[in-house]
Amino acid sequence: MKKYYSSLDTLRAIAILSVIFYHTIPHIFPGGFLGVNLFFVLSGYLMTATIIMELFSTKDFDFKRFYQKRLRRIYPPLLLLLGTLSVFVLLTNSVDPAEFFKDSLASLLGVNNQWQLVNQVSYFDQFKSLYLLKHLWSLSIELQFYIFYPLFLVNIFFMQDKKKIVKIQRILILVTLFSILVMSFLFFYTDINFTYYSTLSRLSAFTIGGMFFIKSGTRKDKQNIAYPFKVGLCLLALFTFTLTLTDHSVLTYNGGMFTFSMISGFLIFFIVESKKINTLLNIPLLTFIGKRSYDMYLFYLPTILIFEHYSGWDGKNPYLVTLLLTCLIMAIGHLSYHLTQKISRKDILFSTIIISSLIFLLFFLSKMGGFTTKPNKLPKTNDSSYLSSSSSKEESHNSSSTEETTEENMETQPKELLFVGDSVLLGTKDYLNDLFKEDKIEIDAEVGRQLYEVKQIIDSHPTSENLVYVLSTGNNGLVSKEEIESIIESIDDHSVYLITTAVPRSWKTATNNVLKETVKDHNNVHLIDWEEKVLSNPDNNWFDGDDIHLNQEGAKVYGELIQSSLNKK
């Protein structure tokens, strides 16, 4: 593999765009995170090609040159990222500088994934809205692979006297199977973040890439006229995976990622084997993006997070915002790519100034707003139940007639309640216990809780005839129709109350639409519209500084809204 295949840049472009879309339009591309797997397979293929070809041509391997070449490509853009974000952090006080320094050091040392595990940083906890280096877990795994994989392959090469390629391929197959088993084991017996961040569970994507290089090197067949058709099928399959798999489903970690990586390997194999396909996939815009995909990857998450955090974007105009953010990430990636090719202090300083300026421009544009739903007062008829509920609670301290109403409500409330949710619900726990003190109530709330965990709790919880479920979902990420339907199915005919989310995040609108559709489809499912409550009270003072978690007043209103909704039944 001596020539440069520009069509592989097209695959890199597909990978980085998938990752970006996973964060900006997750309701369309819930499996966009698999773009990282495509990057890993490409790295495994190309690195194996570099090592094996040098070993066979020179009977030796220049480790120093290999590592220098990789480090020169990896570290200048990384230093530019860290320098730019350091300026942002110091000037805005948006992130603890000490914590950012530790995260930066872990990233520079190539242990970001282990660092996040040790510090119990959940990749899926979206409330850490300005954890700016969370995405560098994958770069750390790449660095670890770059360090150890050459040592591994070279040792195997010189240990074997005959059939070196065949034996290397067999060992790669064994390592792949081992990695797949590790991923499955970790998924069922440890925290999902350990599965997601683990180097061992991710190793299979790299070794699959290596296996396909060896396959291409041992084949002597003429170009297959069916390759274009096969490439089309592979691209369609990868696209389908990004549309259907989710980042916490059982299938994803038990065959899903492996299958995606295998299809990626076949795709690379067909491209390299066919000049016609290489020409067809040489698409100028995509190759432009692909060449800058590494730089774009470094800056994509900080760009999105800064925009979301300061604009309060709640998913309004998702396609327009996605287009604008993608263009901005491309521009920053291009600057980084262009300005770090010639490594000098002057270049790095100049790059930092320019990209810092773009980041601050994004910061100020986000502060101007226009990307979030404005809290407009709704007609009184739409919110009369909420207003009357709130006012009756406030007057109950001074009116005996209201006390009678409260006693009457007590009789109509369910006797057994199971609340399941995340930190938003957790903040209202004391108020809920007080409001429902006459009933049998259980509150299972945890910071960073995901929807799949909600289902696990419900499935393992003992049921009874009168048990009512109240679910606070969608605050930490997108809720899909399939996931919520799976929960409703496991609950059977019990009454279920779904609480809409008011978080100013990109998935809010899509998630609430799913919850409302679910209520329409089931007679036993009811809606507690927290979003409407917030929008109908634009001058409220219910939230902490993050506009997500509730202060004491907000927790009280949240609890009373739940109580009034349950009493309507």
CA dist 413 and 410 (Å) reads 5
| Residues in the chain where the model's pLDDT stays below 50 | 345, 374-411, 413-414
CA dist 281 and 6 (Å) reads 8
- Residues with Cβ within 8 Å of 78's Cβ and at least 6 positions away in sequence, in order, are 107, 108, 139, 298
Structural tokens at position 308: 């979301």
pLDDT at 394: 39
pLDDT at 345: 46
Cα 258 to the chain's mean position, in Å? 18
pLDDT at 222: 53
pLDDT at 412: 52
The class level of CATH for 380-567 reads alpha beta
pLDDT at 402: 41
Q: Which residue ranges make up each domain of the chain? A: 6-368, 380-567
Structural tokens at position 409: 């409500």
- Residues with Cβ within 8 Å of 465's Cβ and at least 6 positions away in sequence, in order, are none
pLDDT at 397: 39
For residue 186, list its beta bridge partners. none
CA diameter of the chain: 94
- Count Cβ neighbours within 10 Å for each residue of 270-289 and write b for 16 or more, e otherwise: bbbbbeebbeebeeeebbeb
Q: If DSSP codes are grouped into helix, strand and coil, which group holds residue 498?
A: strand
Residue type at position 460: S
Answer for the pair 312, 547: CB distance below 8 angstroms, yes or no.
Answer: yes
Phi, psi values for residue 440, rounded to 5° = -85, 110
CA dist 226 and 476 (Å) reads 45
pLDDT at 482: 84
Name the residue with tokens 């289902």.
455
